[in-house]
């Protein structure tokens, strides 16, 4: 596991190397201090008080040195642990943002949440709290064992022969619990996923009075986690018992041989006492290691889960020394493009160009693939066949930074971050001037709304923008996209949450932005797209049925005409 953490860390010397070095030094000094007990006891029993005093002073000095090294080791271990936690968090978050959307699912939310919170803390505990006792558990007994062999080779040899038995039972105890620990972590992730769903879908759950039903599901997954913990205890306990038995055998063997040698006159009583004291000190760190075994396995599991996330392939991110986009007025071009979710084809042989300075609208019946096309244009997914180019460059060849600076998106589900309205708008361009901000606010039609709020743009929007209406959230998102000032503007259902008055404002905004942007809109409202320069009409099969202006399609494309007729009838429905 340490090798894996070494590989995961970008500064392994600070996070693990130095803590390890000083932990080993501290354990070796502890071992040296412990072995001095033997000559001290021997001199004491021989009534050689002055030599005993000398050994006592030597022992005190070594323990003083040990205390100093241990303090320093503890300090740099904690610092190393915190650095490691920060590094892992940064690595995970910067990798997650490069993953294709297809990687995310409800189950994965639990995995990501668990890895980025508890997982990071579990791994941080390795250098911060576990490394030193675990290393002591090996280094201190090894130092004591070396001295025992030196002091009396027969007792030392017995201890050395018993060591593999201890090591074997330690490994066995670990292996037994590791599998159960894996199941427990999976169960904990499942609980996390359920809790995230429970907390984020309160509106729907209340609307359908399903809170009781869903909290039952949460409770069920919690019971599964409890069962996994019981399972872990069941499998962890026999290993620990076996290790304790192995320790008792070891202890018994050393005592037995010591007494045998004493009775035969081969060693003296002080020598036996010194050996027994050393044996006790030999076993102490081992007991501690078994206690910490569970924490080590938890950290091992967390490391392996983090690796699974970090090894998930990112959307390819090409790097170029120079920007590739040749034009500041790029057009979006979709050529022979098809897309499938896994094996399920959704879009077939799509061909169209969205020119600069024009508005291209994408319409079609539900399930035709409009949102999928939007995700492909905004490169949240990669096409399965064909290509999408921006300014003549394949999107897959553009770096994330270059692509992102060329495109701004407004999504159907607008999310605002906890903070002020101004902060949320400024996310589009943190360096925007006061004038740019005001222009975006006015273009998005939120100036009147801001005037009504007592704190204006400094009003807190709440997490997710809960303090605002759907339409207000959408207009803030539009202001955020305008302020970014990217040459391509992608809008998904922007007017869906707006009343007629605000729809008109947004349409005027689009008209005003049109000369300086390539605008692509996914629209469900007839009035939104009537003035579009080009309409792409997708059919139920996910192919382009026809394209042209509204009047051209109305004249030449019966499916388009029928589509709006049915939609118009639906809009005219009233109770």
Ligand X SMILES: Nc1ncnc2c1ncn2[C@@H]1O[C@H](COP(=O)(O)OP(=O)(O)OP(=O)(O)O)[C@@H](O)[C@H]1O
Q: Which residues bind ligand X (CB under 6 A)?
A: 341, 344, 346, 364, 366-372
For the CB of residue 102, give the shortest distance to ligand X in the complex, in Å: 7
| Per-residue b or e along 426-463, where b marks 16 or more CB atoms closer than 10 Å to that residue's CB | bebbeebeeebbeebbbbbbbeebbeeeeeebebebee
For the CB of residue 130, give the shortest distance to ligand X in the complex, in Å: 41
| CA pair distance 254, 215, nearest whole angstrom | 57
For the CB of residue 191, give the shortest distance to ligand X in the complex, in Å: 24
* Nearer of residues 112 and 267 to ligand X, judged by Cβ: 112
| Nearest partner of 332 among 490, 440, 482, judged by Cα | 490
* Nearer of residues 106 and 248 to ligand X, judged by Cβ: 106
* Nearer of residues 228 and 395 to ligand X, judged by Cβ: 395
Other C-beta atoms lying within 10 Å of the C-beta of residue 68: 12
Phi, psi of 489 (to 5 degrees): -120, 120
For the CB of residue 366, give the shortest distance to ligand X in the complex, in Å: 3
CA distances to 135, 140, 561 from 26, rounded to whole Å, are 9, 9, 82
For the CB of residue 332, give the shortest distance to ligand X in the complex, in Å: 17
Q: DSSP letter for 499, please.
A: -
* Nearer of residues 310 and 340 to ligand X, judged by Cβ: 340
For the CB of residue 369, give the shortest distance to ligand X in the complex, in Å: 4
For the CB of residue 524, give the shortest distance to ligand X in the complex, in Å: 7
* Nearer of residues 437 and 538 to ligand X, judged by Cβ: 538
| CA pair distance 144, 304, nearest whole angstrom | 34
* Nearer of residues 45 and 352 to ligand X, judged by Cβ: 352
Cβ–Cβ < 8 Å for 278, 148: yes
For the CB of residue 383, give the shortest distance to ligand X in the complex, in Å: 14
* Nearer of residues 344 and 452 to ligand X, judged by Cβ: 344
Phi, psi of 367 (to 5 degrees): 85, 0
Q: How many residues does the chain have?
A: 575
Is the sign of the CA dihedral 524, 525, 528, 529 positive or negative? positive
| CA pair distance 342, 348, nearest whole angstrom | 14
| Nearest partner of 224 among 277, 187, 278, judged by Cα | 187
Name the token pair of 356: 């600069």
* Nearer of residues 356 and 537 to ligand X, judged by Cβ: 537
11: left (phi over 0), alpha (psi -120 to 50) or beta: beta
Maximum CA pair distance of the chain? 117
Other C-beta atoms lying within 10 Å of the C-beta of residue 316: 10
């Amino acid at each position: 596991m340490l090798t894996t953490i070494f590989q995961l860390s970008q500064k392994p010397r600070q996070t693990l190397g130095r803590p390890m070095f000083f932990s080993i030094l501290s354990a070796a000094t502890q071992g040296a201090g412990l072995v001095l007990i033997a000559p001290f006891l021997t001199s004491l029993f021989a009534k050689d008080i002055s030599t005993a005093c000398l050994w006592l002073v030597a022992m005190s000095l070594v323990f003083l040195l040990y205390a100093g090294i241990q303090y320093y080791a503890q300090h740099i271990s904690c610092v190393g642990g915190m650095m490691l936690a920060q590094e892992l968090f940064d690595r995970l978050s910067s990798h997650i943002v490069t993953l294709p959307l297809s990687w995310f699912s409800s189950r994965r939310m639990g995995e990501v949440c668990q890895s980025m919170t508890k997982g990071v803390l579990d791994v941080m505990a390795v250098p911060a709290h576990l490394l030193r006792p675990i290393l002591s558990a090996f280094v201190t007994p090894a130092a004591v064992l070396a001295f025992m062999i030196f002091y009396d080779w027969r007792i030392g040899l017995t201890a050395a022969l018993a060591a593999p038995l201890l090591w074997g039972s330690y490994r066995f105890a670990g292996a037994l619990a590791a599998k159960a620990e894996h199941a427990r972590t999976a169960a904990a992730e499942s609980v996390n996923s359920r809790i995230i769903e429970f907390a984020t879908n309160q509106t729907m759950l209340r609307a359908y009075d399903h809170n009781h039903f869903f909290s039952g599901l949460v409770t069920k997954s919690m019971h599964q986690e409890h069962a996994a913990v019981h399972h872990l205890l069941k499998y962890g306990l026999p290993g620990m018992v076996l290790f304790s038995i192995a320790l008792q055998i070891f202890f018994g063997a050393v005592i037995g041989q010591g007494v045998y040698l004493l009775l035969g006159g081969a060693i003296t009583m002080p020598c036996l006492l010194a050996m027994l004291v050393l044996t006790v000190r030999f076993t102490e760190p081992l007991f501690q290691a078994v206690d910490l075994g569970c924490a080590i396995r938890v950290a091992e599991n967390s490391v392996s889960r983090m690796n699974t996330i970090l090894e998930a392939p990112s959307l390819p991110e090409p790097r170029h020394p120079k920007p590739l986009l040749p034009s500041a007025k790029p057009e979006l071009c979709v050529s022979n493009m098809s897309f499938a979710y896994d094996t399920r084809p959704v879009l077939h042989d799509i061909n169209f160009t969205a020119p600069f300075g024009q508005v291209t609208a994408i319409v079609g019946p539900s399930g035709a693939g409009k949102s999928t096309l939007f995700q492909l244009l905004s490169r949240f997914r990669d096409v399965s066949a064909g290509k999408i180019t921006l300014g003549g460059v394949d999107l897959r060849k553009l770096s994330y930074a270059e692509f992102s600076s060329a495109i701004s998106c407004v999504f159907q589900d607008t999310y605002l971050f906890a903070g002020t309205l101004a902060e949320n708008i400024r996310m589009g361009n943190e360096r925007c001037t006061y004038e740019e901000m005001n222009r975006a606010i006015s273009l998005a039609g939120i100036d009147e709304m801001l005037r009504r709020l007592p704190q204006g743009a400094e009003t807190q929007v709440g997490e997710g923008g809960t303090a605002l209406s759907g339409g207000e959230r959408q207009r803030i998102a539009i202001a955020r996209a305008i302020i970014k000032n990217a040459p391509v503007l992608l809008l998904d259902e922007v007017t869906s949450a707006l009343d007629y008055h605000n729809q008109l404002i947004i349409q005027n905004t689009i008209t005003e932005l049109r000369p300086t942007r390539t605008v692509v809109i996914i629209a469900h409202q007839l009035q939104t797209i009537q003035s579009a320069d080009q309409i792409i009409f997708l059919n139920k099969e996910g192919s382009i049925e026809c394209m042209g202006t509204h009047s051209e399609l109305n004249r030449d494309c019966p499916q388009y005409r029928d589509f709006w007729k049915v939609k118009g009838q639906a809009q005219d429905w009233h109770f």
